[in-house]
Amino acid sequence: MTSSSEDSGATPGSSRRWRDVLVAVVVGLLVGVGGAVYVAGPPAVMQLTATIAGQVRARVAALLSKDGPMVSEAHDADTHDADAHAHDADNHAHDDHADQEAVELTEQARKSIGLSLGQVSLSTFQRMIRVPGAVVERPGRTRQAVVASLTGQVTRVYRTPGEAVLPGQPLFEVRLTHEELVQAQAALLETAEELDVVERERARLEELRGEGLIATKRILEQEYEMQKLKGRQRAQRQGLMLHGLTEDQVNTILSSRTLLSTIAVCAPAAEKQAEPPTFLLYDLKVERGEHVTIGKTLAILADYSTLMIEGEAYEKDIPGVTTAAAEGRPISVTFESGVGEVREVEGLAIAYLGSTIDASSRTLDFFVTLPNEQAALPAEHTAERAISWRYRPGQRVEVNIPVEEWPERIVLPAAAVAQDGVENYVFRVDGPHFDRQAVQVEYRDPRWVVIANDGAVPIGETVALTAARQLLLALKNQSGGGVDPHAGHHH
């Protein structure tokens, strides 16, 4: 019995010892792991588990081995492993924290999001009132009617709608059928003939007076008659011009001694200004062959070289608009095309304010003078026959009116500040990385953001001026916060 027990190597005392060891191991692991999960995160669990395992192995070795130094070495080795695991866990936690605050982009990614960089500096910010507006024509100035000054038939049309017209250029040819005008021309020619006869007679008498054969009284009578005829001729010339003939046309009648059968209807002469306007044939009111009477509108010309912007100031903005108009503050307008292209025109001024407030919209109209610009023409057109303006009536704009100035402010483009809930962030450049930095926003509008100069972003620091929202999304995706693991699932 004794030899059998010794050969097997198992005794009741050793069995109990193994049972105690196993129970202690299991209880220790369960208590340690459960406590770590409750108190700390995965890195702390790894550290505590490693520590407990080392202690358990050391206890087992102390119970089963009689060699003290071996137990001590095993304990030291296990403790070293546990410390190594704990150090790795701490480093892993630190790396996770760093990844949550910085993002690195490739060169291709920077180009694809249109990233641009710039330095933070102090500047003066002008707070603006932004109101809607539209390009409109100048009342009484933009459009001009061309009317028939004589009765006749339209025989030629020189321009078509959309073509350019310079002052004085012919628009129509009209064959005269107005009896009064024909009689007025005939009377002018008759007077001219009589004046020629009197002038010849006076010249003959002057020759005879030199020979002493004629009295001076006869010569004076001829001079008086010549003065009467010249006065009548001047009145007839003025009458023809009132009928619609030009001075050149009247001179042509006198030089050719023939009646005009047709006349050219021309664009009106330019007003006294630095450059003559270029009209646009806006509308054609007659057709070739049509009979027209005096006063009939033949065409409508439009001068788009100067337009106006009609803005609508909300009732709460009226004091700011009134002050800006009274002080002559320069304002700007923003044009936005259908493809997202934005064009800003600066240095404009408010011409005048409306006199009433609209009862339904509760807005006050105000008007801004807008000098126009000629745009490029299509390849098949020439500047002599066509014209294209950059600004056209009906275009929608945003009118920016300065109301106050804030000196010494950090002003960044709106795309440089990303808003995430109640927090606002900019991204500082750190080599290849972009570090997220929380900032305090003092003012924000669709174009600019004013942030507090509290040291969060030092003056001279290089930051991302665009694509801050894209950088924030990339940072969230990098840290795993940008994707909801339960998105699309319903339980």
**3-state DSSP percent of the chain in helix, strand and coil, to 5:** 40, 30, 30
The predicted structure's pLDDT at residue 81:
52
pLDDT tens for 64-90 read 554 443 333 434 444 445 454 444 544
What average pLDDT does the segment 261-273 reach?
Answer: 80
The bridge status of strand 433-439 relative to strand 102-104 is antiparallel
What average pLDDT does the segment 11-39 reach?
Answer: 55
| DSSP state for residue 266 in the 8-state scheme | E
Q: Which of 76, 73, 18, 78 is nearest to 53 (CA)?
A: 78
Could you tell me the CA-to-CA distances from 95 to 102, 379, 427 in Å, in that order?
11, 61, 19
The predicted structure's pLDDT at residue 46:
54
Surface-to-core class of residue 163, CB atoms within 10 Å of its CB (0-12 exposed, 13-18 middle, 19+ buried): middle
CB atoms within 10 A of CB 100: 15
Surface-to-core class of residue 275, CB atoms within 10 Å of its CB (0-12 exposed, 13-18 middle, 19+ buried): exposed
The region of weakest confidence among 353-357, 383-387, 412-416, 484-488 is 484-488
Q: How far apart are CA 219 and CA 197, in angstroms?
A: 14
What is the token pair recorded at 420?
Answer: 């995430």
| DSSP state for residue 316 in the 8-state scheme | G
pLDDT band at 384 (very low <50, low <70, confident <90, very high): low
The dihedral over CA atoms of 465, 467, 473, 476, expressed in degrees to the nearest 10, equals -30
Q: Which of 173, 193, 181 is nearest to 240 (CA)?
A: 181
Which residue stretches of 40-155 are H helix?
Answer: 42-64, 68-99, 107-112
What average pLDDT does the segment 27-37 reach?
Answer: 54
Burial 432-458 (b: 16+ CB within 10 A, else e): eebbbeebeeeeeeeebbbbebeeebe
pTM of the predicted model over 0.75: no
**Cβ atoms of 359 and 339 closer than 8 Å:** no
CB atoms within 10 A of CB 33: 14
Residue type, 476: K
Average pLDDT, the chain: 79
